[in-house]
Amino acid sequence: MSDAVKILLVEDDRIIASLVKKYLDIRGYVVHHAEDGVNGLKEFEKFDFDLIILDVMMPHKDGYTLAEEIRAKDPYIPILFMSSNNLPKDKIKAFRIGADDYVTKPVNVEELLLRIEVILKRQNNQPKVDQLKEEDPQEIHIGKYVLDFPYQKLMYGDDVRKLTTREAELLRFLFRHRNNLIKREYILQEVWGDDDYYKGRSLDVFMSRLRKYLKEDPTIEILNVHGIGFKFLVAEKV
């Protein structure tokens, strides 16, 4: 079945991997299983996948490292972490890397399936790079900066900074809503796909990054309106 969604499952616990793979196979997904991060990267480079499910604690290469390597090769593929690490710092680290979701063990396979469906639906509704070139200007002028959205580059004169996918999406979103109060929940729903608490913490981190990236232009300001949201202020050109 060529149209079947292909999932790469990287999990060193064979019992958990067998349970998840069996359940997803029944639901029509094509699941490739790798038992550690090294083999996970090999599988990723060998086949085209629609979604990646990663454990964190694995031999030879942990899930965070593997996620960073995958993100460097493909900034768009959805990544879902599945881990027994349930501390806030672990989840925040995953979202900083660019995770789309994070579930904790023991895994409820019904919940996992629903999360996968939500991620894939969101992914299918997002315009591809070629569509973005047609529907949005390739270069978005933000004060003295230029955002090349399809290639995720932020330029200030001769200085060029490579952005992550999430950073570029968030900056474009903020510019579209510039000089207006934007509620946190709305940002999270539109850019992250939901307003989960841990994604909210990740949002604050991303806002701090953008402030740093845009600091050379004093006409640009990101205001935190406590308890409500943010204002992305850009002085209008006279």
Q: Are residues 175 and 94 in the same domain?
A: no
Tokens of 37: 């991060």
62 confidence band (pLDDT: 50, 70, 90): very high
- 131-135, 196-200, 211-215, 217-221: least confidently modelled range: 131-135
Q: Are residues 135 and 212 in the same domain?
A: yes
Q: Are residues 97 and 159 in the same domain?
A: no
CB atoms inside a 10 Å sphere around CB 159: 9
What pLDDT digit, counting tens, does each position of 25-52 carry?
Answer: 999 999 999 999 999 999 998 888 889 9
- 13-17, 122-126, 168-172: least confidently modelled range: 122-126
For 38, 171, 180, the CA distances from 81, given in Å and listed in that order, are 16, 25, 34
128 confidence band (pLDDT: 50, 70, 90): very low
198 domain residue, yes or no: yes
Q: Does 81 have pLDDT greater than 90? A: yes
- How would you label 116-128 residue by residue, b for 16+ Cβ within 10 Å and e otherwise? beebbeeeeeeee
Q: Are residues 171 and 108 in the same domain?
A: no
pLDDT of residue 203: 87
DSSP at 221: E
Q: Are residues 198 and 152 in the same domain?
A: yes
Q: Are residues 134 and 117 in the same domain?
A: no
Q: Are residues 173 and 74 in the same domain?
A: no
For residue 228, give the CATH number of its domain. Answer: 1.10.10.10
Q: Are residues 113 and 144 in the same domain?
A: no
Stated as kind and residue range, the H or E segment containing 113 is helix 109-125
What residue numbers bound the domain in which 97 lies?
A: 6-125
**Residue where a domain terminates, one of 98, 125, 152:** 125
Round to whole Å and give the CA distance between 208 and 229: 14
Q: Are residues 60 and 116 in the same domain?
A: yes
What pTM did the predictor assign? Answer: 0.55
For residue 10, give the CATH number of its domain. Answer: 3.40.50.2300
202 confidence band (pLDDT: 50, 70, 90): confident
Q: Are residues 68 and 172 in the same domain?
A: no
Q: Are residues 141 and 99 in the same domain?
A: no
For 92, 132, 238, the CA distances from 156, given in Å and listed in that order, are 29, 22, 20
Average pLDDT taken over every residue of the chain:
86
How large is the average pLDDT for residues 131-155?
78
1 domain residue, yes or no: no
The number of CA neighbours under 13 Å toward the Cβ of 87 is 4
Q: How many domains does the structure of the chain reveal?
A: 2
Yes or no: say if 18 and 10 are a contact pair by the CB < 8 Å rule. Answer: no
Q: Are residues 186 and 101 in the same domain?
A: no
Round to whole Å and give the CA distance between 34 and 14: 10
Which residue would you say has higher pLDDT here, 193 or 221?
Answer: 221
End-to-end CA distance of the chain: 58
